Every structure is written in structure tokens, then in C-alpha cells.
A and B are shown apart, each in its own frame.
Chain A
Amino acid sequence: MTDNWTVVVGIKQVPDEDDVTIDPDTGTLNRAEAAAILNPPDRNALEAALQLKDEVGAEVIAFTMGPPTATPVLELAVALGCDDAALISDMAFAGSDTWPTSLTLAYAAEYFDADVGIFGEETTDSSTGQVPPGIAAHLDWAQLTYVADLDPRPEDNQLLATRDVEGGHEVVAADLPVIVAVGYGDNDPRPAGLHRKLYAETEFEPMELDAEALGIDPDEVGLDASPTQVGGMDTADPVEREQEVVDSVEDLAAAMAEEGAV
């Protein structure tokens, strides 16, 4: 292959977990008031993509499917070093669960003619981890999840990955095109450079893609195309804990003995 690789990175804006509160009266979650941040595992996805850019000169495009208010995460991606970024937004996408979300992102990966699609391990708001394998399945591409490290082999048109498996790791070679989900915390994300940051904040405007631009039939996405429904949200009874802070190790040992724990 002579062309540079095109790498797309999927990122999502999520409510800051530390900010999500539960209304003690209604038992509902106050997500709306929480600050919006980049899904923390997606930081690792961006870093893995930017490393491919450093290593093989790949062009890196970040995208997010979400409302226009998600634009700040795209600016952050560009500030970190992505070449470009796209907002994938359409009323037709509203209410999508992982099935239509992965379908939409699969179309987006094809739209950019991607060789590699890099994603985070999971989102902190829906935490399914299903979107990246779902994209790979829609496209019938190779998939590499829980990836700790990538080793590009453009001469073989392959991407090698070290991935975490239960109790160890494995090295897998995948033929391009391929979908990667990077393990959360598995690399050290770089900070944004000052120059890039300025550009992202002042000049940069993300591309905007709607269903039509991506060639998506609105019936394929959104709530109606979502196989799962939330049947109910129950507040679990919080586990009652003594919450007693003792002053000495002797008291701790005594408390443990009293509980019959030792």
C-alpha cells in the first residue's frame, strides 16, 4: 500500500460521573446538570490513533454521533492533534441504542474510507462496550478489543495488536480494514499543544454529517430500530453501612472480631 492510512476515531460526550446526582425524593438521576466531558476511555482511543499518525503518517479524523452541543469534544480531538473532526447529527438518530449507533458509525467509517477505526473500551454513560464490535460486525471487518498496544504493518496491510485476555495477553494480526477498541488506561494520553489548541478554539469548524450525507435510511436508525428498551429504572436500596471511622488499629481489629469477620 502506498497511500497513507486513514484512521477514524469515535468519541462521545458524556456527563461527568462525579457530577451526576440522585434526587433523593424522586430517585431519578440528575444527569442534565452534570458537566459534559469527553468519555474518559476515548482519551486512550485518541492517543492510539495519534500514535499511528506519528508512526505511519496516518490521517486521523475524529467523529461523534450526538447533538451539536457535543462539538467541544471534537475541538478537543483537534487540539490533541487530529487532522479533522465530524459531527454526525440528525433527528433521525434520536433514541438509538447500540445497534443503530454502531450502524451509523459503520456508515461513517465507510464514508471516510477508513482503514482503521479506533474506539474507546466503553462509555461511562451507557457502558456497554458493544459499539465497536457492532461496527465491525456491520462492516464485516476484523475487530480487536481490549487493545493495549498497536503495531502498524503497512507493508503487509496489517495491524498487529497486543490485547488483554483473561489472565494474560495475546498478540493478534488483523488484515485491514479493522476496528479497534483500546483498553481504558492502556496508554498515556498526550496533552494538547498550545498552537493546536488555539486553532481548535478559534478557526476550526467540524464537518457536519446527517443521515442523508452518510446514505442512511432514517428507518434503519433511531428508537424504532433499537432492539432494546429500558423497561424500568429502580432505585436499588442503598447498602446500609456502619460508616464508622475508628481511631486505632486495635479498635479496627476489635470491630472486625465483633462483626464475626475474624
Chain B
Amino acid sequence: MPEVDVDEYSDIWVFIEEHAGEVAPVSWELLAEAKKLMDEKPDDEELVALAIGSDLEDVAEEAIARGADRVLVADDPIFEPYRADPYGKQFRELVAERKPDIALIGGTTTGRDFAGRVAVPTHAGLTADCTQLGIDDEGHLEAGRPAFGGNVVATIKCENHRPQMATIRPGVFEPLDRDDTRDGEIEYVDVVVTEEETVTEVLEREVGETADITDADRVVAAGGGIEGDTGPIERLAEALDAEVAASRKAVDEGWMPHARQVGQTGKTVRPELYVAVGISGAVQHLEGMNDSDVVIAINNDPNAPIFDHADYGIVGDLFEVCDELVAALEEADDPQEVLA
């Protein structure tokens, strides 16, 4: 194996995922967390935001305001919308030239598609879907990821290869507030890809809601049990002033948008209140909601695993329980208290 000289590598890079000027919130979450990691790095290293896309001036400025010391911008129409092949080639060139020590990427569908593509040619170590990041005494990235429903956290390291890469689940870290007084450098890099070399073409793209459920204080989540009828959970969510979310089953069936999916391949939420309605409690789902303060389960199967992971549960038909609960909440002594 070609050994790399790990000492030649420095800086932390954060991939700013952006679609038509709209930045995926996980990018800012990663910048904030990477800024904390910078405390463990030598003083002369930089926190670098990497923005690939088209018309990125605003994105680059926001990256500085959100914590980056430097923004590398590859700005060209070829990068809009995202495609693995041109993004991958551009990234590889930049890595070869600048040798980043660590590269962090959001664990979205786009982020995973991109990370898997670029980790191979650089022979980087890539850890998927982390929820914890740290730097050990020797300066290695420690990437922690839950396994088996969060019962186990595996720490993955990459000692002899660079960059050390990780994808991180959306919603795990808190972004920094935008601070436009921050200083940083915006650097436009050479675009090294041409349309002739690409092997894919996006013919059609339809993006609807990109709701952010990760900040919600209260979440009502729908599962396979709703059978396509979102009425009950929407009424319950309204009564609780909660965001609506879903299990993967409800998303795959097309009842709920992917942006609202909770779990291993969706988002991580940690609200004060999580109400799981007609959700069985599969490990992949639990991983996305286990950090909620109070968990309520509504399910008609007394043996559903979700009851083991809930504070309060009720065995019953969700089509009855939801509306009765709405009525009970509205009857509470003081309606203001309910919504406070």
C-alpha cells in the first residue's frame, strides 16, 4: 500500500452542501463542531469551508459568518445541480494539491453519494454517519457512530491514511449563529472539470419541501400505522404546536416527505417531546430519536418494541387515540398552558 506522510496534511475541511444556492443546514452544524475540534489542532491550521456549485458568493460569505477561516470556492455552472463525477474530480484535485487532514461531510443522500465517491481515489479513511467527533492525544480524528439501535458506539480511527473523512448525521450538532463581523478569506479555485468529461446528465429535478425538523421542541411522528391518512397526526401536531415527522416506512410509502424522516438514514431529532404514532420502533428509527426528553408511543400492538423505548405508551387504535388526545389536551384547565 502506498504509505502517506500524514504530517504533510493539515487543516479541517467542511463540505458546504448547497443546492441552487440553498445550503443544507448540516453544513453549518459541521462548521460549528469543526471549530471546536480546531482547539485541539496546532494554531497555524485553518478551518476551511469547501463550496462547490454555481453563483456561490452569498454562500461563501455566510460560511465565514458561520465560523470558517477560509472558503475554497469552485464556482461554475457545471456544478449545478450536484453530480458525483464532476464534484468528485474537483475534490480530488483540491485534496491532492492542498492535503487536508480532516474532511467532514453531511450525512445526507447527496453527502453520502459524494463522500463514498471521493474517499476511494484518495485512499482516505471514511466513517459513515457519525454522531460524535473528537481528536485523540496523537491528533487523530475519532469518529463515533452508534450501532445496533444506539446500544453501542463504535469509535473509528484512521491512522495511516489521509484525509480522515467522516459523514455526520444531520441534526446532531448545533450551528453557530451568523456573525457577519467575522473575518475570513474567500478564495476562488481553478475549475478542473469540463462538461465533455462528464458521464451523467440531470434531465429533471424536482425538489419540494426541505423542512428542518431538527430544531423542533415537539415532534409528532407518523409510521406505517397511519395507512396513508395524515389527518390524525396533523391534528395532534397542531394541538401540541409540534412539527410533523415520520418513520422511513411512512416516507417510502409516499405519505410523508423525506425531509421529515427520522432515523439512521434520516435526521436526528432531540425534542422535549416525541410522540411516535403507529411506529413499531425499529433500531434504525430509534437511533434518530433516542435523545428526546420525553417519548410517548401510540400503537395498537402491545408487543411493539417502541413501548420499551417510550416513557408513556397507550395501546390503542391511533385513529381514535389521536383525536381523543387532542380533545383531552384542549380540555386541559388552561388552553394557554397547553400551548405555552
**Inside 8 A of B121's CB, which chain A residues have their CB?**
137
**Inside 8 A of A174's CB, which chain B residues have their CB?**
199-200
Do the beta carbons of A232 and B290 come within 8 Å of each other? Answer: no
Do the beta carbons of A170 and B205 come within 8 Å of each other? Answer: yes
**Inside 8 A of B283's CB, which chain A residues have their CB?**
17
**Inside 8 A of A96's CB, which chain B residues have their CB?**
none
Most chain A beta-carbon contacts within 10 A, residue among B120, B146, B199: B120
Where chain B touches its partner, the secondary structure class is mixed
**B19, B120, B205, B293: the one within 8 Å of A134 (CB):** B120
Do the beta carbons of A229 and B200 come within 8 Å of each other? Answer: no
**B124, B199, B208, B332: the one within 8 Å of A167 (CB):** B208
Q: What CA separation (Å) do A133 and B155 show in the bound complex?
A: 23
Whole-angstrom distance between the Cβ of A167 and the nearest chain B Cβ: 4
Do the beta carbons of B257 and A167 come within 8 Å of each other? Answer: yes
Residue of B nearest to A142 (CB): B199
Can you list, as one digit per residue, whether each of B130-153 has a CB less than 8 Å from chain A (1) or not (0)? 000000000000100011101111
The contact sample of 24 A-B pairs, CB cut-off 8 A, is A17-B148, A121-B265, A128-B129, A133-B113, A137-B116, A165-B19, A167-B259, A170-B206, A171-B203, A172-B200, A173-B201, A227-B161, A230-B155, A230-B156, A231-B155, A232-B155, A236-B146, A239-B309, A244-B313, A245-B302, A256-B329, A261-B218, A261-B273, A261-B294
Most chain B beta-carbon contacts within 10 A, residue among A141, A174, A224, A225: A174
Q: What CA separation (Å) do A127 and B147 show in the bound complex?
A: 9
Interface residues of A (CB under 8 A from B): 17, 20, 22, 27, 29, 98-99, 102-103, 121-122, 127-134, 136-138, 141-146, 160, 164-175, 178, 184-186, 219-220, 224-225, 227-236, 238-239, 241-250, 252-253, 255-257, 259-262
Q: Is B108 an interface residue (CB 8 A)?
A: yes
Do the beta carbons of A145 and B113 come within 8 Å of each other? Answer: yes
- B86-119 interface (Cβ within 8 A of A): 88, 108-110, 112-113, 115-119
Q: Is B258 an interface residue (CB 8 A)?
A: yes
Can you list, as one digit per residue, whether each of B305-340 has a CB less than 8 Å from chain A (1) or not (0)? 001111111111000010011001100100001100
Do the beta carbons of B328 and A234 come within 8 Å of each other? Answer: no
Do A249 and B1 form a contact, CB below 8 Å, given A29-B152, A99-B119, A229-B157? no
Do A236 and B119 form a contact, CB below 8 Å, given A168-B208, A229-B158? no
Q: Is B235 an interface residue (CB 8 A)?
A: no
Do A133 and B272 form a contact, CB below 8 Å, given A167-B259, A243-B310, A249-B328? no
Do the beta carbons of A137 and B127 come within 8 Å of each other? Answer: no
Q: Is B230 an interface residue (CB 8 A)?
A: no
Do the beta carbons of A166 and B259 come within 8 Å of each other? Answer: yes
Most chain B beta-carbon contacts within 10 A, residue among A22, A185, A229: A229
Can you list, as one digit per residue, whether each of B263-292 has a CB less than 8 Å from chain A (1) or not (0)? 011000000110000000001000000110
Residue of A nearest to B297 (CB): A245
Do the beta carbons of A142 and B311 come within 8 Å of each other? Answer: no
Do the beta carbons of B295 and A241 come within 8 Å of each other? Answer: yes
**B161, B204, B290, B314: the one within 8 Å of A252 (CB):** B314
Do the beta carbons of B338 and A249 come within 8 Å of each other? Answer: no
Q: Number of B interface residues, CB 8 Å?
A: 95
Do the beta carbons of B308 and A129 come within 8 Å of each other? Answer: no
Do the beta carbons of A130 and B258 come within 8 Å of each other? Answer: no
Q: Is B192 an interface residue (CB 8 A)?
A: no
A sample of 9 more A-B contacts (CB under 8 A), given A99-B123, A249-B328, is A98-B116, A127-B128, A167-B257, A225-B1, A231-B156, A233-B154, A239-B309, A241-B310, A259-B312
**B118, B151, B240, B312: the one within 8 Å of A244 (CB):** B312
**Inside 8 A of A257's CB, which chain B residues have their CB?**
332
**Inside 8 A of B126's CB, which chain A residues have their CB?**
98, 128, 130, 227-228
**Inside 8 A of B265's CB, which chain A residues have their CB?**
121-122, 184
Do A228 and B273 form a contact, CB below 8 Å, given A170-B81, A252-B312, A253-B329? no
**Inside 8 A of B82's CB, which chain A residues have their CB?**
165
Q: Is B191 an interface residue (CB 8 A)?
A: no
Most chain A beta-carbon contacts within 10 A, residue among B24, B117, B210: B117
**Inside 8 A of B223's CB, which chain A residues have their CB?**
none
**Inside 8 A of B338's CB, which chain A residues have their CB?**
262
Q: What CA separation (Å) do A233 and B145 show in the bound complex?
A: 10
**A129, A166, A244, A245: the one within 8 Å of B258 (CB):** A166
Most chain B beta-carbon contacts within 10 A, residue among A141, A219, A255: A255
Residue of B nearest to A168 (CB): B207
Do the beta carbons of A143 and B84 come within 8 Å of each other? Answer: yes
Q: Is B85 an interface residue (CB 8 A)?
A: yes
Q: What CA separation (Å) do A220 and B296 show in the bound complex?
A: 50
Do A130 and B151 form a contact, CB below 8 Å, given A227-B125, A241-B310? no
3 closest A-B pairs by beta carbon, nearest first, are A133-B116, A227-B125, A168-B207
Residue of A nearest to B142 (CB): A231
Whole-angstrom distance between the Cβ of A98 and the nearest chain B Cβ: 7
**Inside 8 A of A234's CB, which chain B residues have their CB?**
152-155
Do A246 and B313 form a contact, CB below 8 Å, given A231-B157, A253-B332? yes
